[in-house]
Structure formats: C-alpha cells, structure tokens
Amino acid sequence: MTGAAATPHRCVVCGSGESETIWSVARTPMHAVRPAGMADIASGFGQLDIVACSSCGHLSNRAFDTDAADELYGALVLTNEPVSPGMIAAVDETAALIMRHLKHVPAVLEVGGGGGALSLALARRSAHVDLVEPSRALRPERFAGTGVTLHRAMFPVPALKGRRFDAVVCR
C-alpha cells in the first residue's frame, strides 16, 4: 500500500516531515507469541503504518502507539533471542564484524536489544555495553559480571545523557 502520510510525522534521523506509507496493516498481533492467559482477551493487537522518509529513506511505524508500549513490553515474553546454532553463530559473527571497526575496549550502546544476545557477544570481545531494552521479561541478573549494563526502559534513557559511544547498534 502506498500513499502520502496523512499524519504529521517527523523523521527521527533527518527531521523531514514528508513520508510515504509503504505498508499498512489495520490490526496485527503485538506479540510473536501470545502470552499465557491472553487467548480470550481482545487486547494485544496494534496497527502498522510503515512509512519511508521522503528525504533519507528511514523506515518507521507512524502508527506506533506509545500508550500501548507498556502492554507490548510488559508481556514477559522475550523476543529477539537466538534459538538455534545457526542463529547463535549469526549473532556472534555480527559482534565480530562490529568489533573489527572499533577501537580496543569500545563503549557500545545497543538500543532495543531483545534478550541481549548481541550485547553479551560484544562484551565477550572486550566491549563495555549499555543495553536499552524495555521488556520486563529481561532480568538484570542475566548480565551480572558480563560487561553489559541493562537499562530496562524506553530510549532515550536519562542516565545516558551526555555519554559518548564508539558504536550505536539498533536492529
């Protein structure tokens, strides 16, 4: 589905107010896995309105409902977690690729890191990682002694204001 964006929406990358809908779904599940006890509940659905910035091409969901974020991240269902040897290897290869371009012992910020697999892989390679992930399914204990600091919140995080990073990872 294509068409001009109907709602004013500024690109977070370049600030442009012009975008075009490239894909839209009126009602889609918010969770990859429906949490136990939600089978008969009408909530758990959201809207997608994927737009491309007319200036820089950045993709975003114009219909993202910040009021529904608590439901989305409070479900205690951890997503974006590698579950097979191939997926684990891919995360490890991604960490190696990132580290090849950084100084020794870099400071890395990962925004929206799911279960933290990439942050942990980066930390194993001597990076100091700040992971910003709002999911309440993620526990700080997982990162104890790893070199990863979990900020269980939506980005931006006040505690990181003014900090400089050698790399910022958003996937």
Domains in the chain (CATH in brackets) are 3-73 (no CATH), 85-170 (3.40.50.150)
Distance of CA 100 to the CA centre of its chain: 23
**Mean of pLDDT values over 53-61:** 94
**Mean of pLDDT values over 98-110:** 96
pLDDT of res. 6: 44
pLDDT of res. 34: 67
- Phi, psi for 18 (deg, rounded to 5): -105, 130
How far, in Å, CA of 46 to CA of 50, rounded?
13
User: Tokens at residue 143, please?
Assistant: 């990162």
How far, in Å, CA of 146 to CA of 157, rounded?
21
**Cβ-Cβ contacts under 8 Å for 117 (sequence gap 6 or more):** 80, 81, 82, 88, 91
Mean of all residue pLDDT scores within the chain: 87
pLDDT of res. 80: 72
- pTM strictly above 0.85: no
Residue 106 has pLDDT above 60, yes or no: yes
Residue 65 has pLDDT above 90, yes or no: no
162 burial via Cβ count (<10 Å: 0-12, 13-18, 19+):
exposed
**Mean of pLDDT values over 13-22:** 93
pLDDT of res. 42: 63
Report percent pLDDT > 90 for the chain: 59
